[in-house]
Structure 1
Amino acid sequence: MDNLVIPTFAAIAALLAAAVILLSMRGRAVRDISESARSALITGALPVAESDKPDAAAALAAAEAVGSAMIQAGYSVETVQDVLGDIARVNGLPESEVLVFPNALLVSARGQGQHRTGAVASGSGQLLFSQIDEVQRTVDAARTGLLDPVSTVERIDRIRAMVPNHGPVARVIGYAFLSGALSVLLGASWTGVSLAAGLGVITGAALLVSERVPRRYSALITVGIAFCVALVVFLLLRGGFGSGILAALLAPLVVLLPGALLTTAVLELSTGQMISGAGRLAAGAMQLVLLGAGIVTAGALVGVPDFDFSENPELLGPIAPWIAVAVYGVAISVHRCAPRRSLPWILLVLYVAYSAQVLGDLAVGGVLSAFVGALVVTPVTALVARQPSGPAALVSFTPAFWLLVPGALGLLGVADVLGGDSTAAASLVATLSTMVAIALGVLAGSALSNRMQRPAL
């Protein structure tokens, strides 16, 4: 009973504290137009000038640059289309058409007798949180006419050339703490936490190396990381270590889990974006297969003792997960190079997400708790993004999303399928249910978020 009372009161207290903070800041929820304008003018940008004849070529270049950066940052197809449509209209080309794919886009800039068409592929690799935040600021300025097309392209180029605000050693150490904190949330023992942190060092270093190698080798790196992590864990299990180290199998792989990709796929399929949704779904499934293949190969090499992946002994007590959430927030901010001013907001969103999930789990069960978490977090990130020091909604939402770890069950299900386990279907069904629940939660939360949009000029 005590194990339920403490998390329940902690979750309620965290949500109440977050509500007080957000309500007190509501009157100042204004990353307003004047601030963006001052920022644009300081960097030498000019507002879009009124003209009888718009420049279709310049508008097309701006749309291509912004769209490519947004796709690389991980925005949904619908969001990219809305933004590029606004950019076209503000530049006097309201008849423009945009076709967005998960890794490319086609733009036809049309209006007032002009017609220019272009196609561009998104950049390779992931953008860091600091880059995503600057992309969002550029989007806000470009879609409202505060940035002219030439300045928009120049700013996107500067964003792509940004230097990480943390060095490689700090980022690897950050990943080690990230892995250790997530192992606490997954129910590890102290031995398991130490093991997860150690494997996090190896995984973090491998991920940094993967940023500098051609994309065609990413599949080999994914399988290699999963194999090494699983090999160490399986060897220690066979050496007599208890189930408290099982979390170390999943925690170091959390960034590689395609939970966000799969959930975005479900979200896009539910909104009629069939090509993009199906493409993301296939890519996410393939990522799970690669991770599962690495784990199964390690198991086949050394053998796997009989144990239950879903076991959650909570060996560190009911307070440890709440401390781990803060450690995770700081660690992911360092590893993904979030803007320093955004750390308090990321921690706030993380505690809201975790608290909502804890209460949702107690009230409606595990799968629906993911719906509750997404429903609560989506409008909170929108409100945070409106604060003068708040990061882009995607920056604060992504770490919170990884707390839900919707890809974990799917990873285990795929591993079971590859290993011939007849019970794997249950894990895969649970994963699909979790993805649908999160997608519906995001859709419902977006309805509230739309009421918080900044006023247009």
Structure 2
Amino acid sequence: MTVPLRVPTSTLLVGGSAIADADEDVADLLAATPPDEAPVGPAEEPATADETVRFCLQLGEAMIDATAPVVQVQDALEHVAHANGLPDVEVVALPTALVLSTPRAAQTRTVAVSAGYRSLRLDQVHAVLEVADLAREGEVGPAEGSRRIAAAFASDSPYTAWQQALGYVTSAVGLALVLGGSLTDVALAAVLGAAVVGFEKLTSARAGPYRSIVVLLSAFGVSTVVFTASRTGLDVSLLPALVAPLITFLPGALLTTSVIDLATRQMIAGAARLAAGVMTLVLLALGIVGGANLVGIPASAVAPGGEQALGWPGAWLGVVVYGVGVTIRHSARRRAVPWILLVLVVAYAGQLVGGALLGSQVSGFVGALAMTPVALVVARHPDGPPAMVSFLPAFWLLVPGALGLVGVTSVLGESAGQGITAVVTAATTMVAISLGVLTGLGAGSWALANRWWVRERTG
């Protein structure tokens, strides 16, 4: 059952083509499991209005923690409420809060919860979005849905702590290769990545309200080592050696999601996420500038990679190595790993083609445009992860955070012209990626409607 959104929709023009009803596309097409293939759970007693409201709050809070676009959260909760007998629910979703009201019900209810304070693993994101998709179609009721979400939050990672740490080091090595690092850069990325993940683990118990200090100190320590190594005459390309070990702090997905929110007219949520992402970039840049000043090298020396360690195959190998490391670090389900790698390879290939044909500023658009239909088709497979699970590592790979970090670092390092150019390039990249996703959703809707990849059986 499909319930149209009550908010007016807009038409986005991307590359000369119109994408109508962008809000509904983002919300509906990010669904992980189609209704005709969703597993049906045991029948539940009809839920009361209070039980439905409590479940919607729990589900919405979990989806916000999973960094889902706000329009997807609102649409999912409206569908869930309608499926459980509350057709007139108003939802206000923000990155740090969720408000739900039933203004036209027999008994008016208005409730709110805080959100966005948890960082979910990929397997938890997978579980939450599965519950959302089943609940919006009425296949799972509030009682069972609440039980599944609670079980997902209480579950342990499929990987041990040392495996996750090794995954972080592996993803840093892969990103250094993707960024064109030399063998020295790759080795530095591995060593410093291990130091960063160790420091993060050491401070995790008390880092909640002080995470900004952890980000700042990590960037300062990494930059001090890298700039010191560059002064000794080692073959160090500063961008791969600096950015790759700090990958856990790069806000690429946050910045891109903020632009998606802005593109779908969620102004407050988009602005809040954008401000949070920019703040993280500023903290990283301050740490890098501090390390550069300590060593005596201008921070404007941060530049793209030099000689690729393994030639042109090195970047492709880096994508695979990065993907394997990210899935371990962020605890993706094992059966989802091959599909995530497929989306990563498609995104990187699209980025390369876009860069060759249209320039580096538009390369992210082509990469996102290529990966989005693939992620939607993958989500239809029985073993495929929800589209958001495939998107997140791909957003991290498209590296708007890295580009922005270079720009902010250059500005703080008194190279204003170079810095402003890099910041504008980063902003253009984020917009391009977001519009690529929206355009890909339009292409994905056509593909799903026509099922062009499935041959009809005859006879």
TM-score by length of 1: 0.87
Cα distance in structure 2, aligned partners of 1:35 and 1:106: 32
| Mean Cα deviation higher: 110-119 or 88-97 | 110-119
Write the letter of the residue equivalent to 2:414.
G
Write the letter of the residue equivalent to 2:362.
L
Q: Map residues 242-391 of structure 1 onto 2, 5 A cutoff.
A: 242-244=235-237, 246-304=239-297, 307=301, 309-391=303-385
Deviation at 1:303, TM superposition (A): 1.3
User: Where does residue 25 of structure 1 map in the other structure?
Assistant: none
Deviation at 1:205, TM superposition (A): 2.5
User: Where does residue 135 of structure 2 map in the other structure?
Assistant: 142
Cα distance in structure 2, aligned partners of 1:311 and 1:36: 46
Cα distance in structure 1, aligned partners of 2:37 and 2:311: 46
Deviation at 1:153, TM superposition (A): 1.5
Deviation at 1:123, TM superposition (A): 5.0
Write the letter of the residue equivalent to 1:282.
A
| Mean Cα deviation higher: 112-121 or 287-296 | 112-121
- Are residues 1:220 and 2:222 paired? no
User: Where does residue 410 of structure 1 map in the other structure?
Assistant: 404
Write the letter of the residue equivalent to 1:407.
G
| Mean Cα deviation higher: 324-333 or 97-106 | 324-333
Write the letter of the residue equivalent to 2:179.
L
Write the letter of the residue equivalent to 1:426.
T
Cα distance in structure 1, aligned partners of 2:45 and 2:338: 34
1:169 to 155, 162, 180: 162
Which runs of no fewer than 5 residues in structure 2 stay unpaired? 1-30, 451-459
Q: Secondary structure at the match of 1:216?
A: coil
Cα distance in structure 1, aligned partners of 2:286 and 2:161: 28
Q: Is the 8 A contact 2:97 2:115 kept in 1?
A: yes
Cα distance in structure 1, aligned partners of 2:426 and 2:237: 23
Cα distance in structure 2, aligned partners of 1:293 and 1:415: 7
Write the letter of the residue equivalent to 1:283.
A
Q: Does the C-alpha gap of structure 1 residues 122 and 235 become closer, same or farther in structure 2, counting only changes over 3 Å? A: same
Q: Secondary structure at the match of 1:100?
A: strand
Deviation at 1:65, TM superposition (A): 0.5
Deviations 1:263-307 (CA, angstroms, capped at 9, x unpaired) = 222221222111111111111111111001110111111111674
Deviations 1:223-279 (CA, angstroms, capped at 9, x unpaired) = 011111111101101111124464110111123111221222222122211111111
Which runs of no fewer than 5 residues in structure 1 stay unpaired? 1-28
User: Where does residue 37 of structure 1 map in the other structure?
Assistant: 39
User: Where does residue 425 of structure 2 map in the other structure?
Assistant: 430
* Matched pairs, number: 418
Paired-residue identity, %: 41
Deviations 1:346-366 (CA, angstroms, capped at 9, x unpaired) = 111111111111111111111
Q: Is the 8 A contact 1:84 1:143 kept in 2?
A: yes
Q: Secondary structure at the match of 2:210?
A: helix
Deviation at 1:443, TM superposition (A): 1.3
Q: Does the C-alpha gap of structure 1 residues 343 and 447 become closer, same or farther in structure 2, counting only changes over 3 Å? A: same
Cα distance in structure 2, aligned partners of 1:58 and 1:115: 14
TM-score by length of 2: 0.86
Q: Secondary structure at the match of 1:98?
A: strand
Q: Secondary structure at the match of 2:319?
A: helix
Q: Does the C-alpha gap of structure 1 residues 180 and 92 become closer, same or farther in structure 2, counting only changes over 3 Å? A: same
Cα distance in structure 2, aligned partners of 1:293 and 1:258: 15
Cα distance in structure 2, aligned partners of 1:71 and 1:416: 33
1:96 to 89, 110, 113: 89
